[in-house]
Structure 1
C-alpha cells in the first residue's frame, strides 16, 4: 500500500517560510499546509510577500494541500463582523489558485453570549453563505472539529453539511481535538468518516493545565486506530501534522514552532503508517 500524501502545517516548524520549507525537506515530503508566514495570516500578507511565498514553494516543488483561514475560528465569535470573513474568503480565492489548492480550513464560530438556538441559527446561515461564496471562488471549505457550534458534536457537523447542501463544504478531522474538547475522536470519526476530505494529525493526553501534547502514537487520541479507520473507508486525502509540541496558536502565549518537534512528529506518523502496512 502506498503512503497517502504527507504534509504539515508549516508554522508549527517555525515562523518564517525558510524554517517551514526546511522542516518539510528534512522529512523528504513534498506537501505543506499554510497558516501563517512570519506570524501573518496568508490572507493578510501584502501582494509582494504572498508572491514570494508562492514562488518559493513552486521553486522547491512543494504542493500546498490547504490554507488555514481564521473564518469562524477561536479568534472570533458568532456575534463578530461577518464582513471580515467574507473579505478573507475573497482574498483567498486567487491566492489558493496561485498555490494550487482549493481547500480552505474554517470553523463554526464560538458563541458570543447568544441562546443556543440563536447561535445555531446564525452559524447555519453564515456557513451556508460562506459555502455559496466558496463555490463561486472555486474553493472547498473544510470545517474542522475544533472551535465553534459544530466542533465537538458529530450531529451538528452533519447538520452543517446538510444545511449548506454544497460540494464546497466538507469536513476536516483533527485526531487530537477530542483530547482538548473532552470527547472521543475515534467515535466522532466513525460517524463522520465518509465526509472527511482532510486530516490533521496530533496526539495528547489530559494534563494538569489542559492538554499535554505528544508526538503521534504516544497520547490518548487513538491516532493509529483513526488511521486504520480512514484507510478502511478508502480515505484518499492528505495527512497533515499539527503536533502543537511548541506552538499552540489559541493558547495564552502561543509559543513558537519548533523544527525538531515537527520533524519528530512527522517521523512518528510515518512509523504508524509503516506499522499499519506490515
Structure 2
C-alpha cells in the first residue's frame, strides 16, 4: 500500500481527558480514526451507560470512526495471579460496546508475572489467552496483543509461541514502535518475525537518558521509527498507524496534565508522523 494511503489514528486520551478534546484533536489533524482507552479518567469498560452513549455520540458527531479500543485485559496492572474473572467481564462489556462503536479490535497484553515459576507463568498465560480468544471469536472480535507488559511482551519468540498455541483468528498483534526502551529490546529486532501477524501499529519514540526514558516526537528518538515503517510498508502492511505519544502524559497510568498542553503535544506528534511519512514517500519516489 502506498504510504500516503495508510489510515492515521491516535489514542484519544493522549490528547486530553474529555471526549470533546479527544475528538477535537483528531479533527484538528484531519485524521479519520480514533483509538479509545479512557474518558475523563475512566476506562471504556467502566463508563456508565449514559457516559458511554455520550462518548459514542461525540465520536459520531466528529465524523470519526473507532479503529481499536484499548482494554486493561492482561495488562501491566493485572498480574498473572489476579482474578481472571475481571478480564472475562471486561471482554464481555467491550464486546457489546465494540459492536456499537463499529470496531472489532481490542488491545490486550499477556499478564506480568507475580512470583510464579517460569513454567507455571507460561502455562497460566497460554490457558487464559486461549480462553479469551475463544470468547472474542464468538463475539466477532480480534484481540491484538501488544509488545508491552506480560509473558510474551518483549520477546518475538514468546509472541509466536502464544499465537501458535492459541491458534485462533481472534488473536493477532499490535506493534508499538516505542515500547523497547522500557522493556529492554529494540523494536526493529522483533519486527521481522512478527510482521505477518501485525494488524495494527502504534507510534511512539523515545530516548534513554541515564536511567530515565524520555518520549519524543516520532522520528526524533532512538526507536528507528522510520525504519520500522519502511519494513512494514515494504512487506505490504495496510493497517492503521496510531500515535500514542507519551510526550506530556501517560493517562492510563496517571492523571492528565492540562488539556491545552496535552492536546498541543498530541497534535505536534501527529504532524511529526506526517512529516516522517512524507520523507519515506519522497525517498521511495
TM range (shorter): over 0.9
| 1:1-278 alignment runs, 5 A limit | 1=2, 2-249=4-251, 253=254, 255-256=256-257, 258-278=262-282
Contact 1:6 1:238 in 2 (8 A): yes
Q: Distance in 2 between matches of 1:268 and 1:158?
A: 32
Q: Distance in 2 between matches of 1:248 and 1:208?
A: 20
Q: How far did residue 3 of structure 1 move?
A: 2.7
Structure 1, unaligned runs of 5 or more: none
TM-score, normalised to structure 2, is 0.95
Secondary structure, aligned partner of 1:19: helix
Q: Distance in 2 between matches of 1:212 and 1:51?
A: 36
Q: How far did residue 182 of structure 1 move?
A: 1.4
**Aligned-CA RMSD value:** 1.1
Q: How far did residue 187 of structure 1 move?
A: 1.0
Secondary structure, aligned partner of 1:170: strand
Map Cα deviations across residues 215-249 of structure 1 (whole Å, 9 max, x no partner).
00000000000000110111111100001011124
My pick for the range that moved more, 240-249 or 225-234, is: 240-249
Q: How far did residue 250 of structure 1 move?
A: 6.1
Query: Deviating runs (4+, > 3 A) in structure 1?
Result: 253-257
Structure 2, unaligned runs of 5 or more: none
Map Cα deviations across residues 199-219 of structure 1 (whole Å, 9 max, x no partner).
000000112342110000000
Contact 2:71 2:108 in 1 (8 A): yes
Q: Could you say if the C-alpha distance between residues 153 and 254 of structure 1 is closer, same or farther in structure 2, counting changes exceeding 3 Å?
A: farther
Secondary structure, aligned partner of 1:129: helix
